[in-house]
Amino acid sequence: METLGKRVATARIAIGMSQEVLAEKAETTRQTIGNIERDVYRPSADLLYALAKSLQRSMEWFMDGSDPVIDPLEGELARIGVNLDDLKDLPRHVIEGMLADGRLDWIRSLAMGRYEAGESVAKAARRRRKK
């Protein structure tokens, strides 16, 4: 029988995410992620929800193994540490194009709010200085 810890590790490895990145996204420590993956620590419901969201899996999948990756685009973004919700202002085809072109730094910067869609680097710098 596959354990919760094994499912967390499987999902994390499948998208190429490190324990450190997962811990940061789930707002916990790398040690906690390691303990969960080794089934030494059972996560709270809140932490399990954060893990599910970070790994683009459903809560049900962690509990019983059903319901695979929700959306391939979300899985690809999770692999680079970005949540699709953070890019809600961009059309899906633009995000897919940026991924295809390998513009991962731009995607991360857009997700973190450093740039707005269609904004140049110089314009973003001026906007940040005004704040």
| Residue 71 maps to a domain | no
pLDDT top residue among 80 and 116? 80
Q: Do residues 91 and 50 share a domain?
A: no
Q: Do residues 15 and 53 share a domain?
A: yes
| Residue 20 maps to a domain | yes
Chain Cα centroid distance, residue 47: 14
Q: Are the C-beta atoms of residues 43 and 36 closer than 8 Å to each other?
A: yes
The residue segments making up the domain with residue 41 are 4-64
Q: What is the pTM assigned to this prediction? A: 0.55
Q: Is 65 helix (H, G, I), strand (E, B) or coil?
A: coil
Helices (H), the chain: 4-14, 19-25, 30-37, 45-54, 59-64, 72-79, 92-100, 104-111, 121-130
| Residue 74 maps to a domain | no
Tokens 């709010």, residue located: 113
Rounded mean pLDDT of the chain? 83
pLDDT at 85: 79
| Residue 77 maps to a domain | no
Residue 8, domain CATH = 1.10.260.40
Q: Tens of pLDDT along 39-48? A: 999 999 999 9
- pLDDT over threshold 90, residue 88: no
Q: Do residues 49 and 89 share a domain?
A: no
